[in-house]
Every structure is written in C-alpha cells, then in structure tokens.
C-alpha cells in the first residue's frame, strides 16, 4: 500500500482523507443553507437577511475557527489526494495484457484527483471574486448596506425627498440619518465603523453589502449601491454551473468512499449509505447551481 505524500502512515492518510471529506460535506450543507437566502428572500428583506448572515459568519469566533479548519481541510484533501494518485500510478505494475477499468470502477472514482483539482480551481476563483473583494482593501472602501426610507408621520409623508440610512448590526442605533450629516465612516483599511460627525465617538458598525456584490456579479445592475453590472456575467454563471457538475461527479463516489475508508462498511446499511451519497451528490450541487442561474435570469 502506498504512503501519503503528507502523512507517513497510509492508515492515517485514509482516515484523514475520509474525515476531511465528510467535514467538507457538512460545510457544503451549511454554506448552501446560508446562500439559499439569496433566492428565497427577495427585495430589501432578502438583502438585509443575507448581509446579516455574512456579518455573523465573519465575526462569530466559533465560525472563524471552523473557517480555518475548512481552509486546511480543502488544501489537505486536494493536495494529498493528488500526490497519492501520482504515487499509486508510479507504483502500479506495468505490462497488463488487458485492463478493463470501466468494468471495475466508475468514471468518477477513476478521476477523483482530476475532479478535485478542478474543484480547487473553482474555489480559488470563487474566493477571489467574493471573499477577497470583501476582506481585502482594493483602494476604495467596500460599500456598506444602505437603504432608502420615506419619512412619514401619522401615516402622512412629511418630506418630498427620500432619506438614505445605513443598516447596522446594533438594532437600537438604526436608522442613522446619513443625509443630515450626523454620521461619517472610517474608511481606513476598509473599516466599517460609523462615528458622529466632528467627533471620535463610535456609534455603530455598518454591514458590508455582500448581497449587492453577488447580484451584480451575476448580471444585475446594483450600481446605485456601488456595484456595476458584471458584463461577463453569462460566462461566470456558466462556469459556476459547470463547476457544480464537476462537484457532483466528485461527490458521487467520494461520499460513500469516505464511510468505507472509516470502516463503516456493513451489508445492512451499505445500500443506505450509497443511496444517501448519490442523493447528496445531486441535490447539494444542484442547489448551488440554481442560485447564480436565477440571479442571472433576474428571477428573484
């Protein structure tokens, strides 16, 4: 049995590959549930819900720890899998008179390293398009979530114009009237802190408008919120859908294989594991693929 390039023990490699794979499966479920808010909640309510979710994911200490664990799992699972595939091919005896690979294994199982590499490319591009833009200062502060509210008193309109408000994570401090110049934003290093004009008194922290970024990226004009329409949205939408198809093929074999590697292998429940794995391999990527498609088609 060949040894892992990252772990000396092949048994340890087998367990770690399985555990990181299953951990990433649970991550996919949580990530999909959060992202489905993009299509199941429309308008300002949906925009607000998704930005609240994104803020929680970026600031909760437990989530931060899980995020670093996810990054490690992705890198380990991909790199170790590729190196192991290379070592297995080098150590495989040559000179077989006949080798019917299709009869002994599925196409997804024979191409797990390739599928994993393609998924890694997708992850890098996905993080570059969203995570990097939200986290790294690109020379201008990331737009915050603002919304327009018509001021009324006793059910009657008291102003002819509309007032813009920052949306903050402190419910008792919203809305904050921007047009009255009571608030300014600290733009140093893309900070979202809001202060009273003329003072250094922090009164709130604004939400970054990730919702508008996602919608603009997949072709909807959100320029009034600071994000112009992506003119290459069609190509990126197709890229995301194809990437989810690749993920589906990877999960088709990988889900059940992880349980087998952990020794969870018995005739009484093997069929259930395989069936659940195939259902998971279809539904999770399909859920992710529907999101950019519906946004691009402007169906939300």
pLDDT at position 136: 82
How buried is residue 116: exposed, middle or buried, by Cβ count under 10 Å (0-12/13-18/19+)? buried
Residues with Cβ within 8 Å of residue 279, at least 6 apart in sequence: none
**DSSP label of 189:** G
C-alpha to C-alpha distance for 214 and 206, rounded to whole angstroms: 18
Handedness of CA 9, 10, 11, 15 (dihedral sign): positive
**Beta strand extents in 179-300 (DSSP E only):** 183-185, 193-196, 202-205
pLDDT at position 202: 85
pLDDT digits (tens, 9 = 90+) for 197-217: 778 888 888 999 999 999 999
Question: Domain segments of the chain: what residues?
Answer: 10-91+106-140+232-296, 146-206
What is the three-class DSSP state of 204? Answer: strand
C-alpha to C-alpha distance for 88 and 4, rounded to whole angstroms: 10
pLDDT at position 258: 85
pLDDT at position 265: 74
Residue 292 bridge partners (DSSP): none
Per 3-state DSSP, the chain is made up of helix, strand and coil in percentages (nearest 5) of 60, 10, 30
Handedness of CA 189, 194, 195, 200 (dihedral sign): negative
pLDDT at position 176: 64
Tokens standing for 35? Answer: 């992202």
Helix (H) or strand (E) holding 177: strand 176-177
pLDDT at position 1: 41
pLDDT at position 2: 44
What order do you get walking across the sheet with 163-166 strand by strand?
A: 146-149, 163-166, 176-177
Q: List alpha helices for the chain, DSSP H.
A: 10-35, 37-40, 43-59, 61-91, 101-104, 107-110, 112-126, 132-135, 210-217, 233-261, 270-296
Question: What's the topology of domain 10-91+106-140+232-296?
Answer: 3 helical TM bundles of succinate and fumarate reductases (1.20.1300)
Q: Which residues in the chain land under pLDDT 70?
A: 1-13, 84, 87-88, 90-110, 137-139, 149-163, 171-181, 300
pLDDT at position 174: 57
Q: If you write DSSP's letter for every residue of 93-147 in order, what string do you get?
A: ----S---HHHHS-HHHHTHHHHHHHHHHHHHHHIIIIIHHHHS--SSPPPB-EE
C-alpha to C-alpha distance for 248 and 108, rounded to whole angstroms: 9
pLDDT at position 138: 67
C-alpha to C-alpha distance for 81 and 88, rounded to whole angstroms: 10
């Amino acid at each position: 049995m060949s040894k892992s390039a990252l772990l000396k023990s092949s048994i340890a490699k087998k367990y770690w590959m399985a555990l990181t794979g299953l951990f990433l499966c649970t991550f996919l479920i949580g990530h999909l549930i959060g992202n489905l808010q993009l299509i199941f909640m429309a308008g300002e309510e949906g925009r607000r819900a998704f930005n609240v979710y994104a803020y929680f994911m970026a600031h909760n200490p437990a989530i931060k720890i899980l995020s670093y664990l996810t990054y490690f799992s992705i890198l380990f699972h991909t790199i170790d899998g590729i190196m192991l595939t290379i070592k297995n091919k080098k150590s495989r005896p040559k000179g077989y008179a006949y080798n019917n690979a299709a009869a002994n294994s599925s196409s997804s199982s024979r191409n797990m390293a390739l599928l994993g590499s393609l998924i890694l490319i997708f992850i890098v591009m996905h993080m570059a398009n969203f995570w990097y833009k939200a986290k790294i200062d690109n020379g201008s502060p990331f737009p915050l979530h603002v919304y327009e509210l018509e001021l009324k008193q006793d059910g009657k309109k008291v102003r002819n114009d509309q007032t813009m408000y920052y949306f903050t994570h402190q419910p008792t401090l919203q809305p904050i009237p921007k047009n009255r110049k009571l608030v300014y934003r600290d733009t140093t290093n893309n900070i979202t802190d809001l202060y009273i004009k003329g003072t250094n008194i922090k009164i709130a922290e604004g939400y970054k408008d990730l919702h508008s970024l996602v919608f603009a990226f997949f072709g909807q004009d959100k320029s009034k919120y600071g994000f112009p329409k992506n003119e290459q949205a069609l190509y990126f939408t197709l890229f995301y859908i194809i990437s989810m198809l690749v993920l589906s093929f990877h999960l088709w074999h990988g889900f059940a294989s992880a349980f087998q590697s952990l020794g969870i292998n018995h005739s009484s429940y093997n069929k259930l594991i395989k069936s659940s794995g195939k259902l998971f391999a279809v539904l999770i990527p399909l859920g992710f693929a529907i999101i950019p498609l519906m946004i691009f088609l402007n169906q939300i």
